[in-house]
Amino acid sequence: MRGLLRKLSALDADAETAIRVIAYFDTLVESRATVVEVVRATAGLADGVVGVELDGRPPVRLGPDGKPASRPVAVTAQAAVGTSGRVWLERPDGPRPLDDLVLERCAITLRVLEPPRHTPHLADPALVELVLSEREAPEDRARAVKLLGLAHDRPLRIAAVRCGPGQDPGAEAVRLVARAGRHAPVRVGIVGRHAALVLQPPDAREWALPRGEVRLGLGGTVDGLRAHTSWKQAQQALRFTSAEHPVVDFTDLGATALLAEVPVEMLRRDADVAALTALAATPSGRLDVAALEAFCVSGSLRKAAESLHLHHSSVASRLARAEDVLGWSLDTPHGRFRTMVALLARRLAG
């Protein structure tokens, strides 16, 4: 990858090259590269001098050979890293194609790998918990919102973050904010097993989750004194997430959200949910259930096959096997609706 991309001056700024640049920096994120390693890799990729300055620390400038650069030359591109950092590119011969993209991806990579030391995204967890509580008096909640540096009379929304065993939900939440490139204040707190993000303003940007078990549920937009409503909605949306759908917005659920009001034990006792659980008890059965969900979501055998990277005949065989086990047909609208409800109920049942 690096050898292919190193001499950007010889490449056109087309979509394929841009995708390769993005993939190059994604690899640095996955390998948990250090700041120096990111700067060295960027300098080699751009074939120029790259400098970075973070949180008031001494700047680092490296040349394309990976060694510290001597005298400075003209800065041809630069990008912000958080609120107090920056990264820049120096060239004696002027800018080249994709310089802006390279600097942008470098800045995003540094934000993900090196959160600011005095980050504005962190908050007193007790204050966050107070803001999200519906039992506390309105004046106490308003004071907590103010102490967090937010406005109680302006709209906000809450996001709930869940991660897998051994992962820190608070740390994952901060990394998530950094990846989103959000510059507005965000407050993070731990409430129970989940992290809560207090977003003001409540922008609806796309949240790109890393590979793994991180899930995100978004509550609706409310004013500061009704943050508990958005928090409840965020937790409900979180229950609808899955590996295939790691981000769910409560406002997109509509009437489907009513399923979250059904007690978990009642969902688990349902015959359709039990049948799906029994089917998914084996590796082959899990693939059958995945085929069911892909078919119900896409509404097309071929689209389901594309999403699963299988031949459509293989998906058809799995659907037929699932029909035999479950005892109902997918050929009718009612059968497909019953399957989707059962799949959602099983997800909500945990």
Tens-digit pLDDT profile for residues 76-124: 888 888 766 889 999 988 888 888 888 988 988 888 887 554 444 455 6
User: Are 96 and 155 in a shared domain?
Assistant: no
Q: What is the pLDDT of residue 10?
A: 46
Specify the long-range contacts of residues 334-339, CB closer than 8 Å, at least 24 apart: 336/295, 336/296, 336/299, 338/272, 339/292, 339/296
Q: Is the dihedral of CA 40, 122, 163, 158 positive or negative?
A: negative
| pLDDT of amino acid 5 | 45
pLDDT for the residue numbered 1: 41
Size of the chain, expressed as the number of residues it contains: 350
Q: What is the pLDDT of residues 291-331, one digit of tens each?
A: 998 888 888 888 888 888 888 888 899 999 898 888 888 88
Residue 305 CA to residue 287 CA, distance in Å, equals 12
Quote the pLDDT of residue 56.
63
Both 215 and 152 in one domain: the answer is yes
- Cβ-contact 62, 50 below 8 angstroms: yes
pLDDT at 97: 80
Separation between Cα atoms, residue 144 and residue 286, nearest integer Å? 46
Mean pLDDT over residues 266-284, rounded? 91
- Whether 119 is in a domain gets the answer no
Max Cα-Cα span within the chain: 75
**What is the spatial distance between Cα 252 and Cα 56, in angstroms, rounded to a whole number?**
42
Asked if residue 118 lies in contact with residue 194, where contact means CB atoms within 8 angstroms, the answer is no
CA-wise closest residue to 176 among 141, 137, 215? 215
Q: For the chain, what is the domain count?
A: 3
Could you tell me if residue 30 is inside a domain?
yes
What domain range includes position 172? 125-260
Phi-psi region of 176 (alpha: psi -120 to 50; beta: other; left: phi over 0): alpha
pLDDT at 123: 57
Is residue 120 situated within a structural domain?
no
Task: Note if the pTM is more than 0.85.
Answer: no
Mean of per-residue pLDDT scores for the chain: 83
What is d(CA 50, CA 103) in angstroms, rounded to the nearest whole number? Answer: 9
Q: What is the pLDDT of residue 226?
A: 92
The CATH number of the domain holding residue 286 is: 1.10.10.2840
Q: Name the CA dihedral angle for 261, 258, 335, 240, rounded to a multiple of 10 degrees.
A: -80
| Same domain, residue pair 162 and 189 | yes
pLDDT(75) > 80: yes
Per-residue model confidence (pLDDT) at position 344: 92
